[in-house]
Structure 1
Amino acid sequence: MNNFPELSVIIPVYNVQSELRTCLESVINQTYRNMEIIIIDDASTDDSAHIIEEYAAKCQLIKPVFLQHNIGVGDVRNHGISLARGHYIGFVDGDDWIDMNFYQNLINSIKSNDSDIAVCGIKTEYNNSQNYQLRYKYNSENCITGEYALKLLTKSENYGYFITPIVNNKIYDADFLKNTDIYFNSARSFQDDFFSFFAILYSKRISLVTDTYYHYYQRQSSTTHTFSKRLVTDCLDTLVQIRDILQKNMCLEKYKKEYYSYVERLITSLLDMLIRKEQDSITQKEYLKYIISKFGNNFTISEVIDYIDASRIFSFFDL
């Protein structure tokens, strides 16, 4: 009999001192106890490291890791996966929090369905207030195939509900992740989109859990909520990396519809973020030119025209 925990929770931390205690309290107070909590500080410059030390001193479940140089959340999670000893793996960001039954109920679901992944709903929280948005919720307990789930992720078919690429509202079978060599890319943004495409592509079964347990805190300073040229580059680089891997594995033709639907989903998300974050029309047009240029460097019209709704993309700018 081994003494390995059943669940490894990986928490990347970078300059989240204001929210970190709320996050850690929600994880250490889970009803599910057979776990290790791997907290990786990505060379924070605020008081985050001291808060981690404080909690590690009073909770034996916590395994703290302190990096000397900032490597980004994707590589931090990859490092966490390499350290994880649990049969299942989950991720929580250091400025988010979870309900106390989150892991117990997802563990029950993934076990009972013999699934590779279990997923629940998400609430987006704003500024630590009572203001929140129900972001994803599933109306019935269900176990679906990976093939069906890929259509929900990429929106290649409209079934009236979707699966988010966000990784934090899910748990994963650790052997499944490691045996299929699923990892995060090194982009500062869109690393969830890269990881989730392949996790769902390679999965056999995915459990959907009706309750909403994960609270996603939207900070205005977050890299995913600030528009920049780097965000555009990360988006396009991620899409190209996915295409390259599909081509290398000789399965792009098989998943062409899903892949190019995913291209549309991510580009639409990028444009939506641009409209919300940049109110100045001149700045918007400059960014739009940059997006079109980067897109044209990596894709041809003939390559994507049969798989994307160009009118929906153009509608963002009344084109």
Structure 2
Amino acid sequence: MKISVLIPAYNSEKEIYTCIRSLLEQTYHDYEVIVVDDGSTDRTGSRLDFYAKIYPELITVIHQENRGVSAARNAALKAAKGDFVLFLDSDDWMKRRTLETLAAAQARYAADVVICGNVYEGRVTTRRHVRRVLIPHKRTLMKMLMKDRQVRNYAWGKLIRRSLFDGLQFWEGRVFEDVQLIGQILLKADKTVIVPDTLVHYNTHRQNSLTYSLRPEILKDMLEAFEDQAGYITAYDPTLKREAQAMLRRVRLLIGGALLLHGRFQDPLMEQILPFSKAASAAEFRVHRNLY
């Protein structure tokens, strides 16, 4: 089974070596690496070309004008030749047995998607994983996604059958593209497996990361992405309406708090999120407090 590892890269000259090195050290051998240099203004592009020259059978580099992470991911998907794809950000890295572990789980359970645990590295290092292999029913999977715990709203950390992207792509020119798309992919999958192994190390400390802060300019995309997710999940299963509403309450609380923190008291977005239909509990809020 061939795996395509897809990496969008922008101004990552200081981090890209660690990312690429983790791929070169993989114990699984049937894979390719496609990196899209999204109009970097530093030496990211030249460094990637150097790696591709040394490993021409493994690494493919695509250069494009700066169009954002979604366009970079879509370009990588278009070029992918693997049966399965795995997204990785350019400043993150994987353990040596990541591809081997995910491929073995896919083969054992005939899965369309395999999700692994991950380590968040930044000001506070945390781990996200389950204690045993889970094969959740699709309804349970959607509940897990909306709670953003064992199943996170990220494209990375998931081995995904490439054909599931047929007719779908990341929305371009906007952020929170993972939230808008990943639930649709999971709904198309016949079987999703969650393994307990923590395999991907995600860097939350970089200044240009969405996880670094809830900046006012991204909040509209955030709201619309979660509203879109709630819409297609409840269309799939109307009995999940309560959980979807709880998710949206948490998201609106986060957006409201971010607007107030930045002094945006008169922001038009505030009218869209207030008043809340129901006060969210402290337990609900904790689920999303470190979302982005």
- With normalisation by structure 1, the TM-score equals 0.79
Write the deviation string for residues 95-138 of structure 1: whole angstroms up to 9, x where unpaired: 00000100110111122111121111111123xxxx76233111
Deviations 1:225-280 (A, max 9, x none): 23422121221232344466679xx55845433433332343355467x4xxx9xx
| One-letter code aligned to 2:225 | T
Does structure 1 retain, via aligned residues, the 8 Å contact 2:250–2:280?
no
2:150 aligned with 1:162:
yes
How many residue pairs get matched?
A: 284
- What's the CA shift for 1:77? 0.8
Counterpart CA distance in 1 for 2:172 and 2:8 is: 14
- Indicate the RMSD between aligned Cα atoms, in angstroms: 2.9
1:66 corresponds to which of 63, 77, 80: 63
- Structure 1 residue 168, shift from structure 2 partner: 1.1
Q: CA deviation at 1:220?
A: 3.8
Task: Tell which deviates more after alignment, 222-231 or 42-51.
Answer: 222-231
Question: 1:125/1:116 Cα in 2 relative to 1: closer, same or farther (>3 Å)?
Answer: same
> Residue 242 of structure 2 aligns with which residue?
257
The match for 2:200 is 214
Q: Percent identity?
A: 23
What is the letter of the counterpart of residue 237 of structure 1? E
The 1-side partners of 2:186 and 2:32 are apart by 25
User: Normalised by the size of structure 2, how large is the TM-score?
Assistant: 0.85
Matching of residues 156-195 of structure 1 within 5 Å:
162-178=150-166, 181-186=167-172, 188-195=174-181
**Aligned twin of 1:296:** 271
Distance 2:59 2:182 in 1: 26
Counterpart residue type for residue 235 of structure 1: M
CA distance 1:246–1:165, shift in 2 (3 Å): closer
Post-superposition shift, 1:147?
1.9
Q: Secondary structure at the match of 1:71?
A: coil
Distance in 2 (alpha carbons) for counterparts of 1:46 and 1:193: 29
User: Does the 8 Å contact 1:118/1:171 carry over to 2?
Assistant: yes
2:187 aligns with one of 173, 194, 201: 201
Which digits, 9 at most, give the CA deviation of each residue in 1:213-232, with x for residues without a partner? 10001234124023422121
Measured at CA, do residues 45 and 117 of structure 1 come closer, stay the same or move farther in structure 2, by a change above 3 Å? same
Unmatched runs of 5 consecutive residues or more in structure 2: none
Q: Distance in 2 between matches of 1:176 and 1:52?
A: 28
How far is the alpha carbon of 1:52 from its aligned partner?
A: 0.2
Change (3 A) 1:64 1:120: same
